[in-house]
Amino acid sequence: MLHPKEGLNLVNEANQVRDDNTQKFKNFEYNPVDISEALELITDNQNNFNNNSLTINNLKNHLESFFKNISGNYPSITKPYPIDYSIMGESGPFLYKLCKIIKPEIIVETGVAYGVSSSYILQALSENNKGKLISIDSIFRPWQSKEMIGSAIPKNLLERWELKIGTSEKLLDEIFKKFSLIDIFLHDSLHTYKNMSFEFKKAWPFINGGGFLLSDDVISNNAFSDFYKSIKKEPIIMIQEKNPLSYLGILKK
């Protein structure tokens, strides 16, 4: 049985999705780039881009093995999220390489699911021997549990990870009171116009100069395009999957 607060969160989510379905999507111009081009555009440090292939392949193998060994059907306690629910494709390697280059102290991520993106970030932080990842995720549905959030993350990488359960609307203020500046903000939670706009506007003032705001699923609505236009920043749109086509939005502070 759902707790009343969880029920309210589900209703709120459904209302946001319904509102998005009634809105007309405004096309915006963008020139998508691949991972190599994205890295070249955001940093002058282009050394060792190709020296991390073994680490990335090992992590990919771990994640593929995790997903092969998940039992049950979605949705269930043992498979609370669709297999394609987590960031895959080029975004994971991009997150890893970005963290290796800029060596962030604090990263905030909304949306975890099995923890694919978290794994790539934490692998880089472990190798950097510095930094912390703070992740926010919610438990709204009966088949979801805290135990399954981030369950794909290798156990040896958990030291630099902190998971907070709840909505970004309720938890981001708490996080930004504790950490007045962060280096990377990654949106991968509820992909609605209202929620994405809220997270972008809330996080941007707390991102260090030279830091990054990253967003999955930037062409599902106009939240990302409206936001970067409002702050007069030129985004980088990176191809993260070719089939089905999806993009990662990148804004450098």
C-alpha span between 194 and 175 (Å, rounded): 20
For the domain that residue 205 is a member of, what is the CATH number?
3.40.50.150
Tell me whether residue 37 is in a domain. no
pTM of the model: 0.90
Tell me whether residue 35 is in a domain. no
Q: Kindly indicate the confidence band of residue 50, based on its pLDDT and cuts at 50, 70 and 90.
A: low
Is 182 in contact with 209 (CB distance < 8 Å)?
A: no
Tell me whether residue 33 is in a domain. no
Domain range enclosing 10: 4-27+42-252
Residue 16 above 60 pLDDT? yes
What is the tens place of the pLDDT at every residue in 220-238? 899 999 999 999 999 999 9
Tell me whether residue 54 is in a domain. yes
CA distances from 44 to 79, 162, 184, 213 (A): 41, 31, 18, 18
From the list 188, 165, 159, the residue with the least C-alpha distance to 5 is 165
Tell me whether residue 32 is in a domain. no
Tell me whether residue 108 is in a domain. yes
Tell me whether residue 15 is in a domain. yes
Residue 1 above 90 pLDDT? no
What is the tens place of the pLDDT at every residue in 104-140? 999 999 999 999 999 999 999 999 999 999 999 999 8
From the list 54, 66, 53, the residue with the least C-alpha distance to 118 is 66
Tally of domains within the chain: 1
Is 195 in contact with 167 (CB distance < 8 Å)?
A: no
Averaged over 196-203, what is the pLDDT? 98
